[in-house]
């Protein structure tokens, strides 16, 4: 089976999208767990109360940034492989 550079690019784009979604989801979920823990501590009187925006705003910003970084890394690797494959075919 011959793998064309176009196939590699399509797969790299798909993989980059999946990686972005997974990283963004996991980091957002971690922020939500942190909010719940802080809120439970506040309700128990061990910590000051927090708002959702105080915790989730930075968590979502960080999750999007990290998702873009990891997705871009996967895309760059895929494009590099496609370029190598295209050069090899010539």
What percent of the chain has a predicted confidence (pLDDT) above 90? 91
In 10 A of CB 13, how many CB atoms?
15
Q: Please list, in sequence order, all residues whose beta carbon lies within 8 angstroms of the beta carbon of residue 86, skipping any fewer than 6 positions away.
A: 5
Tens digits of residue pLDDT in 8-45? 999 999 999 999 999 999 999 999 999 999 999 999 99
> Which of these, 84, 90, 89, lies nearest to 8 by C-alpha position?
84
Q: Given this model, what pLDDT does residue 69 score?
A: 98
Following DSSP, what letter does each residue of 15-43 receive, concatenated? HHHHHHHHHHHHHHHHHHHHHHHHHHHHH
Tens digits of residue pLDDT in 38-83? 999 999 999 999 999 999 999 999 999 999 999 999 999 999 999 9
Residue 35 to residue 60: CA distance in whole angstroms: 12
Q: Given this model, what pLDDT does residue 3 score?
A: 87
Q: With a cut of 70, say whether residue 89 has pLDDT above it.
A: no
Domain boundaries, the chain: 5-89
Tokens coding 53: 């925006």
Q: Given this model, what pLDDT does residue 90 score?
A: 61
Beta carbons of 82 and 9 less than 8 angstroms apart: yes
């Amino acid at each position: 089976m011959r793998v064309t550079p176009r196939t590699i690019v399509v797969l790299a784009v798909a993989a980059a999208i999946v990686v972005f979604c997974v990283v963004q989801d996991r980091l957002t979920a971690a922020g939500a767990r942190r909010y719940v823990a802080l809120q439970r501590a506040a309700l128990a009187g061990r910590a000051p109360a927090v708002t959702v925006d105080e915790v989730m705003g930075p968590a979502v910003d960080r999750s999007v940034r990290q998702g873009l970084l990891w997705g871009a890394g996967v895309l760059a690797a895929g494009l590099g492989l496609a370029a190598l494959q295209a050069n090899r075919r010539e």
